[in-house]
Amino acid sequence: MADAKSDLNAFLFGSDAPLSELNNSAGGTASLTYPSELTENGNHFLKFSPVKYDRKNRNANADQNTLLGIHLPIPANIQTSYGANWGEVELGQVGNLLADSSSSSAQTLSRIMNDTKNVTVAGVTKAASEVIQTLKPTMIRNTVKMLGDTVGIKGVEAYDVSKGQAVNPHQAALFTGVGFRSHSFAFKLVARSPDESETIHKIIKAFKYCMHPELVGDKGTMFEFPYEWIIKFSSSVRKYAYDFTPCALTNFSATYNGQGSPVFYEHTGAPIQVDISMQFKEVEIITKAKLKREGRGESFGKGSRESKDIAAGGAKATAAGGEATTTGGSF
């Protein structure tokens, strides 16, 4: 894992300089901050950290190696939404009988299925009798349908009309799970100096590099998964905001000189303004257990071991020389 950090360091900074000389944080992890004073004086910010995971299996805890810290102003109008997936299912007569756990026949059938050694003949006979009685109208209807199909007439429809009744499909709502949340961000990065334009350039390089895979295996037959991302609000606002599970960066775009006219620094050729936008998708679902930890500064993901809180104060961020905005999208 140390190789991944060294590789990213060399890509961004073009040197083998120790990481401790390239950042202002403890632990030897480099950081990139826009604007340069963002993490000072209690400003609010978002921290994006690419991480390399070593997962032994899908449900195991992951050894996490934070490769970099990118600090950007909190965009305006951030939002999050949560969804639960519910579908419809037709239980039918038998399914409805089994779903009614209070009925004696359902209880007997359940015991038959779960404890075949201690079932009495009388109990089975009683349950079968109740089931047959419950299903009698359906059995008659199915018989009429079979006869009608045999002679080529719509017998079951005629039967329903004559009785003035329709089959109850016993519809039920069925919870089927939750999806992965998506997050969209957009930032307008205006360089106030050549040094700040260089930081913006490195931030863009970092997002692009970390979202792409590595070719591995003999003759590049396999992809190694791209890095995942840990996203956190600064600690001063996290209590009233929300947490993210580990994310995959699915889309990144950069618009150079987004103000409409090409403006560059004279000696470096760096653009004055770059607008960036990105979309993330979480790789873990939200559960009650995660929500109980939300806002505490703990990791929101089940496998993350990043426990150190982001240091920040309590005043509103004023990104002098730069502006942060957010685009639509579900969080």
Q: Provide CB contacts within 8 A for 119, sequence distance 6+.
A: 111, 112
What is the model's pTM?
0.70
Considering 203-207, 290-294, 304-308, the range whose residues carry the highest mean pLDDT is 203-207
Say whether 41 sits in a helix, a strand or coil. Answer: coil
**More reliable by pLDDT, 90 or 22:** 90
**Residue 173 to residues 84, 85, 88, 117, 147, Cα–Cα distance (Å):** 12, 10, 5, 34, 34
Q: Exposure of 13 by Cβ count < 10 A (0-12 exposed, 13-18 middle, 19+ buried)?
A: middle
**More reliable by pLDDT, 149 or 278:** 278
Q: Provide CB contacts within 8 A for 178, sequence distance 6+.
A: 82, 83, 84, 85, 285, 286
d(Cα 283, Cα 314) in Å, to the nearest integer? Answer: 30
Report residue 83's pLDDT band, with 50, 70 and 90 as the boundaries: very high
| H or E element that contains 66 | strand 63-66
**Residue 323: pLDDT above 90?**
no
d(Cα 120, Cα 117) in Å, to the nearest integer? Answer: 9
d(Cα 253, Cα 306) in Å, to the nearest integer? Answer: 28
**Residue 271: pLDDT above 70?**
yes
Peptide bond into 35 cis (omega under 30): yes
pLDDT at 19: 41
**More reliable by pLDDT, 145 or 303:** 145
Q: Exposure of 224 by Cβ count < 10 A (0-12 exposed, 13-18 middle, 19+ buried)?
A: exposed
pLDDT at 111: 55
d(Cα 295, Cα 318) in Å, to the nearest integer? Answer: 23
Q: Provide CB contacts within 8 A for 220, sequence distance 6+.
A: none
* Cβ neighbour number for residue 29 with a 10 Å cutoff: 18
Place of tokens 């590595």: 214
d(Cα 271, Cα 192) in Å, to the nearest integer? Answer: 11
pLDDT at 185: 96
